[in-house]
Structure 1
């Protein structure tokens, strides 16, 4: 596992927990100063990137030496707005196969309320498919 990745370092993401196939990543946000959209709330793309970082970190714990992985899809459902505070993304597999693994990730505020639910599918690459990645 390579961490921090360049994007995680740039965005201030911090790993708070890692287990086999699971990960939690947190970040402190301020929509007015740095992370906002046109409506003045936290940008949905930022929330999706936070979840993607947690999911990628979770999947990196189950790939073997010589293997790599890639995202096939990602879908975010936004539940409530955020202006500032610390968010934590908790990723876990909902189904694990040899090549394809489906993940769910809950992004929570400090008070434990969900901000977004994100699902993603990861594909493990082997052999020539993993070369150079």
Structure 2
């Protein structure tokens, strides 16, 4: 697992938990100062990137030498707004196959309320397909 990634450093993401196929990543947010959209709440793309980072971190724990992976789909469902505080993305597999793994990632606020649910399908690459990734 390569961490921190360049994007995680840029965005201030921190791993708070990691296990086989699971991960939690957190970040402090402030819609007024840095992470806001036109409505004055934290931008949905930022929330989605946080979840994607947690999913990628979770899947990287399953990689054997010579393997790599890529996301082939990502879907976010937004549940409530966020203005400031700490967000934590908790990623876990909902189905694991030999090549395809489906993930669910819940993004929660400090008060424990869900902000978004993000699902993703990740493809594990082996052999020549993994070379150079």
Give the TM-score, by structure 2 length.
1.00
2:8 & 2:50 partners in 1: Cα distance? 8
1:118 is paired with a residue of what secondary structure?
strand
Structure 1 position 132, deviation (Å): 0.3
Matches within 5 A, 1:1-133: 1-133=1-133
Tell me the C-alpha RMSD between the 2 structures: 0.3
In structure 1, the gaps of 5 or more residues are: none
Structure 1 position 8, deviation (Å): 0.3
Structure 1 position 76, deviation (Å): 0.2
Give the TM-score, by structure 1 length.
1.00
1:119 & 1:91 partners in 2: Cα distance? 9
1:9 & 1:120 partners in 2: Cα distance? 22
Large movers: runs of 4+ above 6 Å: none
1:92-131, CA deviations, whole angstroms, 9 ceiling, x for partnerless residues? 0000000000000000000100000000000000001000
1:38 & 1:129 partners in 2: Cα distance? 41
1:42 & 1:92 partners in 2: Cα distance? 24
Give the paired residue count.
133
